[in-house]
Amino acid sequence: MTTRILIFLMTIGVVACSPGSSTDRDPALAKDHYSFANVEQFVTEQIVLNLNVDFEAQVLNGSAMLFMRRIDPDAREIVLDTRDLTVENVEFLVSRGKEWDEIPTEHTLGETDALLGTPLTIYVPDSLADAEHVVPVVHYRTSPESTALGWLPPELTAGGEHPMLYSQSQAIHARSWIPLQDTPAVRFTYLARVRTPPGLIALMSAENDPDVERDGDYYFEMPQPIPSYLMAIAAGNLHFAALGEDTGVYAEPELLEASAYEFADTQAMFETAEAMFGPYQWGRYDLLILPPSFPYGGMENPRLSFLTPSLLAGDRSLVSVVAHELAHSWSGNLVTNQTWRDGWLNEGWTSYLEFRLMQVIYDEDRAAEENLLNYEELLLNFERIDPKYQALAPRITELDPESGQGTIAYHKGNLFLQYLEHAYGREIFDQFITDYFSDFAFQVITTEDFVDYLDKRLLSVHHGILTREQVERWMYEPGLPDDAVLPTSRNLDDAAELAAMWSRGELDAAELPVTDWSAQATIHFINALDPDLSTEKLVEIDKALGLSDTQNAEIARTWFIQVATRRHEPAYDQMAEHLRKFGRVRLIRPIYVALAGNGSDMQLARELFNAARGAYHPIANAYIGPVFEDDPDGE
């Protein structure tokens, strides 16, 4: 234990948090089924990490001190979540004035569950039987197989000279790099000391100093309490460019200029978000551009959103992901889903706030285009997802937190909130938004808590507009209610019309007004092409729109899904290149699914995956591997 960390620790207060209020309807639904932690007995209030980043062994090693409060006076065991961690030793710290005594203790690792990992049980010694606060310290190391950690050799980074590390903790991967209560129901603050090889910088979902001396020894503080899935770390040759007073971007030097250009609107988004949703509670807001293997578009790690470099289209056409991750600073990070079943409270709310931000920062047309594309994706989800998972908050407990629902929580949640806005009008609904974030700031809530609040603050105040039953239909029924307000876009309708005309041969490819099109219109055009086009026609449209060579990863995704579905072999080389180039699940998994399902290319799909998987993040491999089994979940 370093004295610097202990001094640091004693100078700051510990924020007390309890697990969120539970609903009295069905306690099984308010419980987190994805954690072993006994949160009814002990809750974590603060974590102090002391970690070394060992690039050669591809492990983090060090210790986690957990400042825990006892809720149940009779509790004598603490159960933490772990996955693939080697636990070397556990002791308790007891403060004796300015000194800390170490009390040795016993621990056991239980049976491993494939989804949940391995419970770590720590026995509280007799001498601490009456203590209200206990401080177990776990000395441990991660495994190179840690599901959260992407370890990149230099050749998989933009610069090619330095290695890089980054984490992805959501939904239940924090336990694979920190032994902790890995549930969104518990919030804690944290401090960390992280050592890296000199010259490389470490960053966390905490206060980061862009001007820090790059001596390989870094200190972090996250003073606001956060749930475990927002624990995040990265290390590499990362540099900083300011985007505005409160915002900036970290990237490898090779990508810094392009990143600063692409995300130049971030400060304006930040200011708009504060004006619309209430005060930003986290200090600075920075972006971190990761290598292509990052498995998501973005991850809302507080103060430092992690982003895929596939957003660097050169024309700012994909920055709705930044609006999305920024909006999570309110929906998700400030007001958090109590369990993953309530995920729509994070993702549906955020998709709606993203839509609202896009309307202001860009224009109504662009927001409408994105809204319609999302709606179409939702319709595809309804076709292939079991109706019992189509409810916003299914009344079930066994849903896989990362896959079962596809993007239903996002787009159906978004449409639900648009429906409320439409029913009550913008003025009333905007007031509801800011009240909601301020009333539940730094709390965790269930769907049922939300519906009660909505009832009290909107339905019962403005009588005769919507009933609770209408709201509950969205929460608990599959599909969309009949009175949903459906998205429309003139621009996309025009693009679909042109796709039909060109497919029928009524129009030459040269006559298409492609230069006026947004990326969203091109995507819609591709999806609206006739299913039976000849190879010659597909070659013609590929050439006319530059599809196989596009710099826009969303256009490439849309095109290569078609290429794979239609077995358009002239574009297979570029499709294979796309699958090698990106590791973002959204950009590649549907192409593998289309290849595996086109009746002829299962073997090719397997070969392409086996050639590329070494460069993907473990989370991406876990999503894509099952595509080649007999019963993929079909997303």
- The H-or-E segment that residue 121 falls in is strand 118-123
Residue 401, classed as helix, strand or coil, is: coil
CA distance 282 to 437: 14
Range 101-132 burial, b when 16+ CB lie within 10 A, else e = eebebebeeeeeeeebbbbbbbebbeebeeee
Catalytic residue among 218, 389, 410, 592: 410
CA distance 487 to 502: 25
Q: How far is the CB of 347 from Zn ion (least distance, A)?
A: 5
Peptide bond preceding 171 in cis form (omega within 30 of 0): yes
DSSP for 129-184, please give it: TT-SEEEEEEEEE--TT-SSEEEE-GGGSSSSSS-EEEE--TTTTGGGTS-B--ST
Q: How far is the CB of 82 from ligand BES (least distance, A)?
A: 19
Nearer to Zn ion, 347 or 402 (CB): 347
Nearer to ligand BES, 141 or 411 (CB): 411
Nearer to Zn ion, 291 or 297 (CB): 297
Say which entry of ligand BES, Zn ion, none residue 265 contacts (CB below 5 to 8 A, set by partner kind): none
Query: What is the x/- site pattern for Zn ion, positions 348-367, by CB under 5 A?
Result: --x-----------------
**Contacts (CB under 5 A) with Zn ion, residues 399-438:** none
Question: Is 383 labeled as catalytic in the residue annotation?
Answer: no
Size of the site for Zn ion (CB under 5 A): 2
Q: How far is the CB of 328 from Zn ion (least distance, A)?
A: 6
| Burial of 288: CB neighbours in 10 Å, binned 0-12, 13-18, 19+ | buried
461 touches 423 (CB < 8 A): no
Query: What is the x/- site pattern for Zn ion, positions 138-177, by CB under 5 A?
Result: ----------------------------------------
Q: Where are the alpha helices (DSSP H) in 143-292?
A: 253-262, 266-277
Say which entry of ligand BES, Zn ion, none residue 83 contacts (CB below 5 to 8 A, set by partner kind): none
Say which entry of Zn ion, ligand BES, none residue 218 contacts (CB below 5 to 8 A, set by partner kind): none
Nearer to ligand BES, 410 or 517 (CB): 410
Determine the interface stretch with Zn ion among 92-100, 288-296, 346-354, 604-612 (rule: CB under 5 A): 346-354
Dihedral sign computed on CA atoms, order 56, 201, 552, 272: positive
Q: How far is the CB of 347 from ligand BES (least distance, A)?
A: 6
Question: Is 250 labeled as catalytic in the residue annotation?
Answer: no
Pull the structure tokens for residue 278.
């209430």
HEC secondary structure over 465-511: CCCHHHHHHHHHCCCCCCCCCCCCCHHHHHHHHHHHHHHCCCCCHHH
Rounded (5°) CA angle 579-586-421: 160
Nearer to Zn ion, 231 or 499 (CB): 231
In the block, tokens 């991850």 appear at 299
Number of helical (H) and strand (E) elements in the chain, helices listed first: 19, 21
Say which entry of ligand BES, Zn ion, none residue 378 contacts (CB below 5 to 8 A, set by partner kind): none
Nearer to ligand BES, 152 or 171 (CB): 171
Q: How far is the CB of 305 from ligand BES (least distance, A)?
A: 8
159 touches 251 (CB < 8 A): no
Catalytic residue among 91, 252, 300, 325: 325
Determine the interface stretch with Zn ion among 205-213, 343-351, 424-432, 556-564 (rule: CB under 5 A): 343-351
Question: What residues contact residue 35 under an 8 Å CB cut-off, 6+ apart?
Answer: 81, 116, 172, 181, 182, 183
CA distance 28 to 59: 36
Q: How far is the CB of 398 from ligand BES (least distance, A)?
A: 17
Nearer to ligand BES, 214 or 586 (CB): 586
599 touches 605 (CB < 8 A): no
Nearer to Zn ion, 171 or 608 (CB): 171
Say which entry of Zn ion, ligand BES, none residue 171 contacts (CB below 5 to 8 A, set by partner kind): ligand BES
Say which entry of Zn ion, ligand BES, none residue 586 contacts (CB below 5 to 8 A, set by partner kind): ligand BES
End-to-end CA distance of the chain: 47
Q: What DSSP designation does 551 have?
A: S
Pull the structure tokens for residue 251.
């990237």
Say which entry of ligand BES, Zn ion, none residue 188 contacts (CB below 5 to 8 A, set by partner kind): none
Nearer to ligand BES, 92 or 306 (CB): 306
Say which entry of Zn ion, ligand BES, none residue 299 contacts (CB below 5 to 8 A, set by partner kind): ligand BES
* Cross-strand partners of 249: 241, 287
Q: How far is the CB of 328 from ligand BES (least distance, A)?
A: 6
Q: How far is the CB of 370 from ligand BES (least distance, A)?
A: 9
Strand order in the sheet with 233-236: 149-152, 164-167, 233-236, 201-204
Nearer to Zn ion, 347 or 448 (CB): 347
CA distance 350 to 355: 8
Say which entry of Zn ion, ligand BES, none residue 32 contacts (CB below 5 to 8 A, set by partner kind): none
Q: How far is the CB of 149 from ligand BES (least distance, A)?
A: 15
Say which entry of ligand BES, Zn ion, none residue 408 contacts (CB below 5 to 8 A, set by partner kind): none
Q: How far is the CB of 138 from Zn ion (least distance, A)?
A: 30
Contacting positions for ligand BES (CB under 6 A): 170-171, 296-300, 320-321, 324-325, 328, 347, 402, 410, 586
171 touches 402 (CB < 8 A): yes
List residues near Zn ion by CB under 5 A.
347, 350
Q: Which residues are catalytic?
A: 325, 410
